[in-house]
Amino acid sequence: MPAGAGPEDDWAGRYAPSLGDIEALAHAAFAGLPRAFRALCPGVIIHVEDFPDDDTLAEMECDSEFDLLGLFRGIGLAQGGDFATGQMPNQVWLYRRPLLDYWAEHEESLGHLVTHVLVHEIGHHFGLSDSDMTAIEARADG
- Reference 110, options 128, 97, 129, 92; nearest CA is 97
Q: What digits encode the pLDDT tens for the residues 11-24?
A: 888 899 999 999 99
Helix (H) / strand (E) containing 94: strand 91-95
Question: If you classify domain 24-79+90-139 with CATH, what class do you get?
Answer: alpha beta
The pLDDT assigned to 43 comes to 86
Mind listing the pLDDT tens digit for each residue in 32-88? Answer: 999 988 988 888 999 999 999 999 999 999 999 999 999 999 876 444 455 455 567
**What is the value of pTM for the model shown?**
0.84
CA atoms within 13 A on the CB side of 11: 4
Half-sphere exposure of 53 (CA within 13 A, CB side): 4
Segments making up each domain of the chain, as ranges: 24-79+90-139
68 Cα distance to chain centroid: 11
**134, pLDDT greater than 50:** yes
Average pLDDT over all residues of the chain: 87
140 near 33, Cβ under 8 Å?
Answer: yes
Q: For residues 85 and 28, give the distance between their C-alpha atoms in angstroms, rounded to a whole number.
A: 30
Phi and psi at 130, nearest 5°, equal -60, -40
pLDDT, position 95: 98
> Does residue 115 have a pLDDT over 80?
yes
